[in-house]
Amino acid sequence: MSQNNQYKPEVNYSNKTERRRQLVKKYLALGRTEHQIADKLDVARKTIQRDKEKLKEEIRESIDKEPIEDLLFDFDNQIETVKDEYWRTYQKANTDNAKIGALNNIRGLMKDKIKILQNLGIIREEPEKLEGDLNIDITEEIIPSDSDEDTHSDEEEE
């Protein structure tokens, strides 16, 4: 058999593209950057950007098929369930570090919720930045000072 007659399988670009987009979706869910995904899949970053736009479009189309209110209600309920579990963890915690960890988890959950809503195109503006870990002294009690009490009694007398 000569080289010219060798069988060359047809490349089905649709399946190849769909497979790549599924991988892009997976890597995005894992928190990878466009640059990291492009390197991993050995494609241009612009290709990953186009894939992201196509994935967003597909999500929007699927949302259009189901009332958005129902989807958001279910999504919010799931987030609230997780948040409630973190609050239970906080309440049962025996150490300040465990309590701060639970509070950081709640903060992270809310940041993730905002990011998901932004990726869906539901939130378009950038929220206020949350930076650093919570630095809260859980052991400090808030007790009104004597001067606060004096201020209140002076106001009542007038």
For range 61-65, the mean pLDDT: 69
pTM of the full structure: 0.39
118 within domain boundaries: yes
How confident is the model at residue 149, as a pLDDT? 46
Q: How many domains, in total, are found in the chain?
A: 2
User: Average of pLDDT values for 123-139?
Assistant: 55
Enclosing domain of residue 71: 67-137
Contacts 24+ apart (CB under 8 A), 131-137: 133/100, 133/104, 134/100, 134/103, 134/104, 134/107, 136/100, 136/103, 137/96
Domain assignment of residue 61, yes or no: yes
